[in-house]
C-alpha cells in the first residue's frame, strides 16, 4: 500500500509534541509491515505531488485548523481516499482545549458546547468541512466528545509505543525519584504548576523531561520511581504517559479524557482529580512510601502496554482502517 502522511510540522522527536512522535512511529511501523510511506509537510506543490506519487490513501494528522486544511479540501474535492485524524478540539472549539478562562473545563467536555466560553464556538464552516471526510480520534472518550458536538467520528486510532525500546530499567531505580515529561511545560494547561505545588507540599523534587532525544527520554524514565502526568485539560491522548507505562513506571495521572483511556485506577496506575494539589500530593506520597504498590502498578502498566499499545498493535489498527476506507471508496 502507498500511503501519504500529511503533517506540516517538521520537528523531530522531543522538539514537538505527541503528534510529531505519532507521525514518526506510525511511519516506522508501516514501513516495517512492508508498506510504502511518504510525508508531505508543505514546501512543494501538493497537486503535483499527488500526480507524481499517486498514493492509495492519505493520512492527514491535524493539530490545529491550519495544518493540512488546504490539502484536505483538495482531497475532498478530488474524492481521493483519505483519513483525517484530529489531535485536538479545533473543529468546534476556537480555543482547541475545551477550557474557559481560569482553567475551568467547558461544557463540551461532558455534554454539548454552550458557546459561553471566552473563545466561543468555532465557525460552522469547520464542522461542514470536517464532516466531509472520514474522521479518526485518538481514544474512545475523545471520539464521544467529537460526536456530541457535531463532528462525525468514524474510527479510533490509538497510537502505540516501541515497547522493546521503552523497556523497564535493567537495574534498580534511584529511590524516590519523581519523573514528568512534557513538550510544552510553560503552558498552564499541562499542569506543571500543580505538580510543583504538590511536590513542594510533600518535600520531594521533580525531574522534568522536555526537548530531549528519544534515547535520553528512555534513559531518564528508567531512573524514576513514579511518573506524574498532571494535565489540566481534556487531553486527546497523552503519549508520554504510554511511554512511561511501557518502562514499567508506577504512574499517576489527572483523571481527564486521554488518561482514562490508558489507566484503570488502582489496577495499572492512579487517577486523581485535575488541578487538585492535595489529591496529587497524597497520591505521590502514597506511592513513594509503598514500594510493593509501586512495583505492582508498574508491572501492570507494562503488561497493559504489551497487551494493546505497542507499535505492532497500532500498525494493525492503521492498516485495518485504511483497508476499510479504500473498500468504501472503491
**Res. 11 pLDDT band, cuts 50 70 90:** low
What are the pLDDT digits (tens) for 107-126? 666 666 666 665 556 667 78
What are the angstrom distances between the C-alpha of 56 and each of 70, 79, 80, 83, 104?
A: 19, 12, 8, 11, 43
Q: Is the pLDDT of residue 8 over 90?
A: no
For the residues 75-90, what does the mean pLDDT come to? 92
List the grid coordinates of 233: 485539560
Which ranges in the chain belong to alpha helices (H)?
18-32, 46-53, 69-77, 124-130, 140-148, 192-202, 214-221, 239-246, 257-260, 277-288, 291-308, 311-329
What are the pLDDT digits (tens) for 185-212? 888 888 999 999 999 999 999 999 988 8
What are the angstrom distances between the C-alpha of 107 and each of 76, 93, 312?
A: 31, 11, 36
Closest CA to 78 of 62, 61, 54, 42: 54
Long-range contacts of 289-295 (CB under 8 A, 24+ apart): 293/250, 294/225, 294/226, 294/250, 295/250
For the residues 72-100, what does the mean pLDDT come to? 84
* Domain locations along the chain: 2-160+310-329, 178-308
CATH number, domain 178-308, options 3.40.50.620, 3.30.1330.10, 3.40.50.2000, 2.60.40.10 = 3.40.50.2000
Residue 158: partners with Cβ closer than 8 Å, 6 or more residues away: 138, 139, 237, 261, 308, 309, 314, 317
What are the pLDDT digits (tens) for 305-317? 999 999 999 999 9
For the residues 150-165, what does the mean pLDDT come to? 95
SS3 assignment, position 229? strand
pLDDT at 327: 92
For the residues 144-165, what does the mean pLDDT come to? 93
Q: Is the pLDDT of residue 267 over 90?
A: yes
For the residues 58-75, what does the mean pLDDT come to? 80
For the residues 17-45, what does the mean pLDDT come to? 91
For the residues 59-75, what does the mean pLDDT come to? 80
CA–CA separation, 288 and 222 (whole Å)? 16
* CATH code at 2-160+310-329: 3.40.50.2000
Q: Is the pLDDT of residue 15 over 90?
A: no
pLDDT at 330: 45
CA–CA separation, 222 and 219 (whole Å)? 5
Of residues 129 and 228, more confidently modeled: 228
Residue 24: partners with Cβ closer than 8 Å, 6 or more residues away: 12, 13
Fold matches, 2-160+310-329 and 178-308? yes
Q: Is the pTM of this model over 0.95?
A: no
Q: Which of 12-26, 79-93, 94-108, 134-148 has the lowest mean pLDDT?
A: 94-108
Amino acid at each position: 500500500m502507498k500511503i501519504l502522511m500529511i503533517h506540516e510540522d517538521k520537528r523531530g522527536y522531543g522538539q514537538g509534541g505527541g503528534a510529531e512522535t505519532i507521525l514518526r512511529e506510525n511511519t516506522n511501523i508501516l514501513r516495517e509491515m512492508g508498506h510504502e510511506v511518504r510525508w508531505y509537510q508543505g514546501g512543494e506543490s501538493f497537486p503535483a505531488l499527488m500526480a507524481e506519487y499517486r498514493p492509495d490513501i492519505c493520512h492527514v494528522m491535524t493539530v490545529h485548523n491550519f495544518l493540512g486544511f488546504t490539502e484536505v479540501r483538495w482531497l475532498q474535492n478530488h474524492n481521493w481516499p483519505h483519513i483525517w485524524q484530529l489531535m485536538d478540539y479545533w473543529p468546534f472549539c476556537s480555543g482547541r482545549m475545551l477550557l474557559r478562562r481560569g482553567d475551568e473545563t467547558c461544557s463540551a467536555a461532558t455534554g454539548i458546547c454552550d458557546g459561553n466560553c471566552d473563545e466561543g464556538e468555532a465557525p460552522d464552516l469547520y464542522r461542514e468541512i470536517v464532516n466531509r471526510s472520514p474522521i479518526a480520534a485518538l481514544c474512545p472518550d475523545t471520539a464521544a466528545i467529537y460526536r456530541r458536538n457535531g463532528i462525525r467520528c468514524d474510527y479510533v486510532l490509538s497510537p502505540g509505543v516501541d515497547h522493546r525500546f521503552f523497556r523497564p530499567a535493567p537495574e534498580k531505580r534511584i529511590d524516590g525519584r519523581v519523573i514528568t515529561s512534557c513538550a510544552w511545560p510553560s503552558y498552564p494547561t499541562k499542569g506543571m504548576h500543580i505538580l510543583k505545588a504538590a511536590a513542594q507540599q510533600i518535600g520531594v523534587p521533580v525531574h522534568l523531561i522536555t526537548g530531549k532525544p528519544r534515547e535520553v527520554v528512555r534513559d531518564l524514565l528508567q531512573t524514576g520511581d513514579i511518573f506524574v502526568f498532571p494535565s489540566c485539560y481534556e487531553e486527546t491522548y497523552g503519549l508520554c504517559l504510554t511511554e512511561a507505562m511501557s518502562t514499567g513506571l508506577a504512574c499517576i495521572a489527572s483523571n481527564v479524557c486521554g488518561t482514562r483511556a490508558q489507566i484503570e485506577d488502582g489496577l495499572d496506575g492512579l487517577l486523581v482529580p485535575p488541578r487538585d494539589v492535595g489529591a496529587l500530593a497524597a497520591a505521590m506520597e502514597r506511592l513513594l512510601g509503598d514500594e510493593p504498590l509501586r512495583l505492582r502498578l508498574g508491572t501492570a502498566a507494562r503488561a497493559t502496554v504489551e497487551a494493546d499499545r505497542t507499535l505492532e498493535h497500532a500498525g494493525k489498527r492503521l492498516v485495518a482502517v485504511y483497508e476499510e476506507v479504500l473498500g468504501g471508496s472503491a
